[in-house]
Structure 1
């Protein structure tokens, strides 16, 4: 459905140039979104896949173990969209105290993403509302260090930004002027919590993502926070008990379509085309996450069975369990988390290496770090990690 007006334009100055900045109308769209107009089937398919993803967490022996790896997989993908080169292995090696194979700033930015997500989820579980205040708190975590640390962490922007192009005059899109950001975000917060429009939570999340990206309220980190917001809204609505749905890989694979549809919403108000794309992405990604969870569960069970066949199975099983929780770690780290002595952990790791499950990744004589390669392989499926 096409709508005549989706926002207004204001003349503003950016980078010494006078440009037209777009301020979107408050949500929900008018006229209302009609799920019967080509959206019923993709909505039902996405909702069903989301239900299966939520249910699969009951099959996992300890959901936190799988969430640890899956959250970091999303952090890597979302950060790669913004140009970082860190991989899942780089991130986990950094967290274990090793030296990743890429620029430190890239890994720090990815690690900050993990911190921002966990902060948001903790706050929601403490019954703190999904609000502008929470978004600013998460933004503070996201830009706590690294290249974005000087870009007003935790504060809405007070200067004009732009998207695409080498300068404001040839930008692909110019978001609202800084003096309109507060009112736009206040309206978005009201929409997030609205209960009088009969919109399903899944559709509300899709609409909110576009609106957030259009407002672009921060100087940096908008893309990453905008993608995080989708998962937070689904968890807040009770559609997911764990933060296991992430659309970064889908957006990355369909980058051109993603940007085209965002612009179509702004220019013509074609929210339905965007929602169809969004719901198809939720369906695809949720099904993929279910398959990954089942593969991980099967792999861990098969590996445990192999370990139980050998000697010193008890300590090896404890180390193996710790490596499911954190697939890259040092001997000292594993000793601390398992309660075993360093020599006992080292012997267990030698057994796991002999079985082909684990490898040492630093090549050092001291401070060795080990990776649960086969498990990391399952987590990496479907990602396009950069070399290095």
Structure 2
């Protein structure tokens, strides 16, 4: 970390750190960046940035309206959440094909890769966090720690610090994790870090209410990433925090927003903007970039929702042309936009019908080219609504 760039920072200060590198066993003497608590007002922003903020606010309003008009928003939350899970994990170096993540509901856990299981950890952690917020409970340190515990369960990061504010010094962007070669060294562990995390959550819950919600979400995300409070998973939790914040403040009634696909394809720019806030106090550049990301993410999500609902209507039309107006085949297609992978057994279990009836219905949908059997070592006899997964790949930017 270039000390000269950070020692005159208007948003924080450097603190001396010493210790022994856990990987190499070499003693180090270095500095870490400690961000100041967030202010109770917006930072000074240029007119163009405020216009981007306003655009983001309008885009969030359109997405919220779209969510309110969906008869079963929970149906569309599943593919949106899995798309976000796959992309936010890829940003942190854990890549699993989107189709594998979507098919995980109907495949045996033993056939899933470690990467898929880690992505699914995010899905479960996010679902629990959304339920927490949906019950009207503000985010607390305990709730955030539970998100981390769920996220890292069964992964190499499932250490004694799992579900706890970290007790070790970490470094970002270094070769082999060494402190002295790191691009950025976040706050040292200890009482100050614990207090800073509590201050951030209090700020989100109370102090940021007088700040534009888009600006507040950008500021909170920066602060969380800069504190880097956990031993792993900070990027994924920090981006989840954006949606949790917007839901907590009532900007979004349903957590249908997927922000990571946009940031994933702009990884270096995203990281550079965060670092510039710490080095030079460039809130303007970060908030403008963040607002642009929200606009694009909202518009992409709205298009995805429209395309999925359009596909559902098209499937109904195909059934009518084939003389199938109801029954088990209709039950299956009603759920495909939320779960585009099925097996005969999953259809039987979900509908309470016999395996033979489920098999006949799936075969009919294959004939109508609504389902296609997906073959492969890890799939077995799994059937895919290819047009649905194509829409979701477009949402993920792939």
TM-score w.r.t. the length of structure 2 is 0.90
Contact 2:67-2:256 at 8 Å conserved across structures: no
1:301 equivalenced with 2:313 (yes/no): yes
Match among 225, 232, 256 for residue 268 of structure 2: 256
For residues 351 and 291 of structure 1, the distance between their equivalents in structure 2, rounded to whole angstroms, comes to: 29
Number of aligned residues: 380
Structure 1 stretches lacking a partner, 5+ long: none
Give the structure 2 partner of residue 328 of structure 1: 341
Distance 1:367 1:341, change over 3 A: farther
2:131 to 97, 102, 122: 122
- For the pair 1:51 / 2:51, whether they are aligned, the reply is no
Mapping 1:208-287, distance limit 5 Å: 208-287=220-299
Aligned-residue Cα RMSD (Å) equals 2.1
Q: Distance in 2 between matches of 1:352 and 1:273?
A: 50
2:179 maps to 1:168: yes
Aligned pair 1:75/2:88, yes or no? no
- Return the match for 1:140 from 149, 166, 169: 149
The alpha-carbon deviation at position 233 of structure 1 amounts to: 0.4
Which sections of structure 2, spanning at least 5 residues, go unmatched? Answer: 1-7, 22-26
Shift of 1:340: 2.1
**Aligned residue among 301, 306, 314 for 1:289:** 301
Map 1:57-206; keep pairs closer than 5 Å: 57-98=67-108, 104-150=113-159, 152-166=161-175, 167-179=178-190, 180-195=192-207, 198-206=210-218
Name the SS of the counterpart of 1:38 in structure 2.
Answer: helix
Q: 2:51 aligns with which of 41, 59, 70?
A: 41
The worse-fitting range, judged by mean Cα deviation, of 162-171 and 304-313 is 304-313
Residue number in structure 1 paired with 2:3:
none
Residues 151 and 219, structure 1, Cα contact 8 Å, conserved in 2: no
Query: Structure 1 residues 66, 198: CA separation in 2 closer, same or farther (over 3 Å shift)?
Result: same
CA change 1:96–1:35 in 2 (3 A) is same
Alignment match, 1:341:
354
Of the structure 1 ranges 20-29 and 203-212, higher mean CA displacement relative to structure 2 is found in 20-29
Query: What secondary structure sits across from 1:8 in the alignment?
Result: strand
Comparing 3-12 and 156-165, the one that deviates more: 3-12
C-alpha distance after superposition, 1:212-249 (max 9, x if no partner): 00000000111110110000000111111111122211
Post-superposition offset of 1:195: 4.0
Confirm or deny that 1:376 pairs with 2:385: no
Change (3 A) 1:100 1:358: farther
Deviates more, 1:195-204 or 1:215-224: 195-204
Partners of 2:289 and 2:160 in 1: how far apart? 32
> How far apart in 1 are the matches of 2:329 and 2:245?
40
Kept after mapping to 2: 8 A contact 1:94/1:100? no
Residue 20 (structure 1) aligns with: 31
